[in-house]
Amino acid sequence: MNFVVFTHVTHRSFDGKIYAYGPYVREMNLWVKEHDQLTIVSPFVEGVAPDPIESSFECLNIRFVRLPLFSFIDFNNGIKSLLLLPFLTFQIFRGLLSKGHLHFRLPGNVGLLSTILQVFFPFRKKTFKYAGNWHQTSLQPLSYRLQRLIAKNPLLTHNAQVLVYGKMTDDANHVVDFYTATYTENDKSEFALKPVSNDESIRLIYVGALSKGKRPLLAVQVLEALLKNNVHAQLYVCGDGPLLNTLVDYIREKNLESNVHLTGNIKRSDVDLLLQGSHFLLMPSKSEGWPKAVAEAMWWGCIPVATAISCIPKMLDYGSRGIIVNPDAPAMAAAIMELLNDFERSSKMRTEAMIWSRQYTLERMQKDIQRFLA
């Protein structure tokens, strides 16, 4: 049986394998486990070595309906994308005509076009995975809102289930609350939690893209505020992106080189080791869907310090499994310092965070996915 995926994620072939963004590949391996063929409608490049954060597909029988890279982020790219629109439409229609289950990854450029075109295929069985912030009150681009509007409308999105992070009370029955898993049952290893105390040097960690919406500079400013309050702290920044040079310049200007460590994109196993040795995860994002970094930090007893966006308040049980803050460096630093002086509360928070996060394993996710494919 064939499984057809529509996604904006760029795939690459290298040394006989197909690679793409690691968390996406781990999830897709679960979706296609019971299928003998995978058809991917997406951008594709050949002969480029994978990034450390990319993984390879387990499925060996992969067919591509190739799309050129396109975007509407600025005027020039928008004009080029409009010129490509007839070809893009033709290729996506080819994918929609493929036999098998149709699966759409939203939000994104490919998601927008394929979500519009799937309206003309009402009797095909489909699933949609909306990985962004589903909350209707959140500020999002028009294209994201349009994808959400079409996906949630049962007249436009027929014979489908839409998997979201944080279902709203007024959503139709075909909209289903879901999650994302990273670890297996075998990953539930015991390890020694480093004490959270004002008497110890503490480690902070930021995991994610170095982009405007993630606010990585704010994470550095939280560290700076802690140092000014005589808290001994180190910050590890795991990720890469357009704000890298901005961070480097700020760290130099503020003489923070000995306290901030920029790792770039590193392997999943290396991130896990850093999380195991960290006390606090800084997540000051403007928008998230299911923030994998938060769930992964909780798995290892690392306390999230995060903004109240998307499903984060629910993940943190409104403050009992982590710290919910406004995106303000002094306020975030003050919340951390308060917890440093309360050993009982911090210990309970870490334990509850681990218990909650370790419910969501890849094995459980595999079983839940099968329900949508039955």
Same domain, 173 and 207: no
DSSP structural state of residue 170 = T
Examine the domain organization and report whether 269 and 145 are in the same domain. Answer: no
Rounded to whole angstroms, how far apart are CA atoms 217 and 241?
A: 12
Q: Tell me phi and psi for residue 40, to 5 degrees.
A: -115, 120
If asked whether residues 199 and 55 sit together in one domain, one would say no
Any residues with CB less than 8 A from the CB of 199 and at least 6 apart, and which? none
Which residues, in sequence order, are CB contacts of 73 under 8 Å at separation 6+?
none
Residue 374: its pLDDT value, please?
75
Q: Domain count of the chain?
A: 2
Q: What is the CATH number of the domain that holds 344?
A: 3.40.50.2000
If asked whether residues 291 and 353 sit together in one domain, one would say: yes
108 in the same domain as 201: no
Same domain, 220 and 340: yes
Please tell me whether residues 195 and 118 are part of one structural domain: no
Residues 10 and 159 in one domain: yes
Can you give the residue range of the structural domain that contains 115? 2-182+362-373
Provide the residue type at 91 as one letter: Q
pLDDT tens digits in sequence order for the chain, 374 residues long: 899 999 999 999 999 899 999 999 999 999 999 899 999 999 999 988 898 999 999 988 999 999 988 777 776 777 887 888 999 999 999 999 999 999 999 999 999 999 999 999 999 999 999 998 888 777 788 889 999 999 999 999 999 999 999 888 888 899 999 999 999 999 998 776 766 766 678 999 999 999 999 999 999 999 999 999 999 999 999 999 999 999 999 999 999 999 999 999 999 999 999 999 999 999 999 888 889 999 999 999 999 999 998 889 999 999 999 999 999 999 999 999 999 989 899 999 999 999 999 999 999 999 999 999 97
Q: Do 351 and 292 sit in the same domain of this protein?
A: yes
> What's the pLDDT at 199?
64
Domain containing 88 — which CATH number?
3.40.50
Q: Are residues 139 and 168 in the same domain?
A: yes
> Within 13 Å of residue 180, how many CA atoms lie on the same side as its CB?
25
Instruction: Indicate the average pLDDT of the chain.
Output: 92
Q: Output the pLDDT for position 198.
A: 67
Alpha-carbon radius of gyration of the chain: 21
Same domain assignment for residues 151 and 269:
no
Asked if 334 and 211 sit in the same domain, the reply is yes
**H or E element that contains 251:** helix 244-253
> What angle, rounded to 10 degrees, do the helices at 329-340 and 216-228 form?
50
In whole angstroms, what is the distance from residue 130 CA to residue 149 CA? 12
**For the segment 199-237, what is each residue's pLDDT rounded down to a tens digit?**
678 999 999 999 999 999 999 999 999 999 999 999 999
Query: Which residues on neighbouring strands pair with residue 105, listed in sequence order?
Result: 129
